[in-house]
Amino acid sequence: ADSQDKLCQTYGGDMQQLSLLSEFPLPPDCILSDLMNVNIHYDAVEALLEEYLQEELEQFETLDVKAVPETNLSVKWKYSSALQKSIRRGYVEDSVKYALTYHSLDSVSFWNRLVIIAFEDCGVADVKVVAMTLAAARSKLFRQKLGGDKKVIHYLIKKLAESVKDRTVADMCQVLENRSLSTEALTLLKTATHDELSSITLTERHHFDLRIAAAWMLWGTDKMKNGRFPLRSGYRELFDHSIEQMKMPGLVKYITLRGMTACKGCAMNLTYPFVWLMMKQSPYVKVIETDLPQRYYIKDLPEFAYDKHTREGKAGYQNFYRSCPAVNEYLTTKGIVGRDEVTSAIGIAMFISESALLDRRINFQGAEEIYQMTVEDDYGKNGLSLSEGKELARLIGANSDILRLARTRAVEGERV
C-alpha cells in the first residue's frame, strides 16, 4: 500500500477525521514526499508539514545575525521593503537582519507580509518553502513549539532567500485585475450556477484565465474584490471541494486553501494552482540567473529599499527628477510633470528595473508573456507605452549616480 493507503488504514479509512499532528501523530513511515500525492487530504498535509518543520528546526542553527536596534514603529515599512527586495536578490544575511528588525517593530504585520512575499516572489518555483511559510505563519503557539519566532524567522528567511524565485503567480493575478475577459466569457460567468462555476474551474480544456475567474467567483467576488468580474456571493464549501478535486499534489492544494485566510484579501492563492499546472504542462522549465548590480547602502539600508512606498523614496525620486536633466526633459515631453505623476512614473520604472530583480528565477511556457502584459499595464497606468517606459528605465539606469545622490540627500533630509 502507498502512503495514502497507510494513512487511511491508520485512521479507519476516514481522511476527514485526520487533524493536526498535536492531536493525531502520523505513522513513522510518512515522509515529506507524500505531500506530492494527489490524494492526500488537506489536514494530513498540515500535519506532515508540522512534523517536517519540527525535525528541521531541531537540527537548525541560527545565523550570527541580529535585529537593528530600532523602536520607531513608523520606519517598519523601510525594513519591510528591504526585506522583500533582499529576499528577491538572495541576500541571506541582509534578509534575516531586516526580517528580525521588522518583526521586532510589528510582529503581526511581519507574519502577514511574509506570506505575501512567499506567494509573490517564490511562487511555484519552490512549493515547499511557500507551504512551510503558510504553516508557520498561521500560529504563534506552533512557532513556540518550533523554538520561538526568532528561530523560525532565521530558518524561513534563509530558505526563502536561497530558493529559486518565480513571480508568475503575482503577475497572473495582476493581469486578471487589469484586463477584462471576453464578452462571451463574462456572460458565461455571470449566468453560471455555482455547480457550473465548479465545472468550469475543473475543465482542463478551458483557458487558465477563465478557470481562475470561475474559481474566483466561486469563492465570492463580494469577498475578494475584482471589478472586472461579475459580482457574486460565493459558496465556500463547493470552492473547497472543487480545489480538492483538481489533479494536483496535496501541497499545492494546501497552499491554495490555507491562502484563502492567510493572504488577507489578496487573490494570489487563487492563481497559484493554475500557474502550477501551467508550469507542469510546459515543454520546458528553465532556471535563469540574473547578473545583479553592486550593492550600495544608505544609512545601513540598501538603496533599493527606498522606493515609492517609503517617504524617503518618494523624496528621493523628486530630488532625482529635479537634478537629472535627461529624465526631467523626457518626462516633460511626455506631459508627465505633476509631483505625484512624476513619482509614480519613476517609481514604476524603478520597480521593473530594480526592485523586482530576482537572483534566480524559473521560466516556462506562458510565463514571459504574462510578465510582459504586467509591464505594459504598469507603464500604461502612468501614461507611457511599453517602449517609452523602457526608455525611461534606460535613462534612469544611465544616471544611477545622480539617483544615488538624490536618495542619499532625501534620507539625510536634504532637498535639491
Closest by Cα among 196, 363, 211, 197 to 274: 211
pLDDT averaged over every residue in the chain: 90
- Among 35-39, 54-58, 328-332, whose mean pLDDT is lowest? 35-39
pLDDT at 41: 85
Q: ∠ at Cα 221 (219, 227), nearest 5°?
A: 150
User: How would residue 37 be classed by pLDDT, with cut points 50, 70 and 90?
Assistant: confident
Longest dimension (CA), the chain: 74
Does residue 142 register a pLDDT over 90?
A: yes
Share of the chain above pLDDT 90, in %: 83
pLDDT digits (tens, 9 = 90+) for 123-140: 999 999 999 999 999 999
Task: Express each pLDDT in 335-354 by its tens digit.
Answer: 999 999 999 999 999 999 99
Whether the per-residue pLDDT at 91 is higher than 70: the answer is: yes
Cell 466561486, residue located: 218
What pLDDT is recorded for position 25?
Answer: 39
Residue 11 pLDDT more than 60? no
Q: Which three cell numbers stand for residue 15?
A: 481522511
Residues near 105 by beta carbon (within 8 Å), at least 6 away in sequence? 70, 71, 72, 73, 75, 76, 79
Q: Residue 220 — left, alpha, or beta (φ > 0 → left; ψ -120 to 50 → alpha)? A: left
Supply the pLDDT for residue 31.
54
Query: Between β-strands 285-289 and 297-298, what pairing exists: parallel, antiparallel or unpaired?
Result: unpaired
Q: Is the pLDDT of residue 156 over 90?
A: yes
What torsion, rounded to 10 degrees, do the Cα atoms 258, 263, 268, 273 define? 0
Closest CA to 165 of 118, 122, 117, 116: 122
| pLDDT at res. 265 | 74
d(CA 180, CA 197): 18
Contact present, 163 and 125 (Cβ < 8 Å): yes
pLDDT at 243: 93
C-alpha cell read off for 267: 487573490
Lowest mean pLDDT among 16-20, 59-63, 146-150, 400-404: 16-20
Q: How far is CA 206 from CA 105, 193, 211, in A?
A: 46, 17, 7
pLDDT at 413: 86
| 113-117, 167-171, 231-235: the lowest-pLDDT one | 231-235
Residue 3 is predicted with a pLDDT of: 34
Among 107-121, 152-166, 218-232, 319-333, the least confident range: 218-232
The per-residue pLDDT for 280 is: 94
The model's pLDDT over 208-253, given as tens digits with 9 standing for 90+, comes to: 999 999 999 999 998 888 999 999 999 999 999 999 999 899 999 9
Q: Which three cell numbers stand for residue 404?
A: 544615488
pLDDT, position 5: 35
| pLDDT at residue 1 greater than cutoff 90 | no
pLDDT at 416: 63
Average pLDDT over residues 193-215: 96
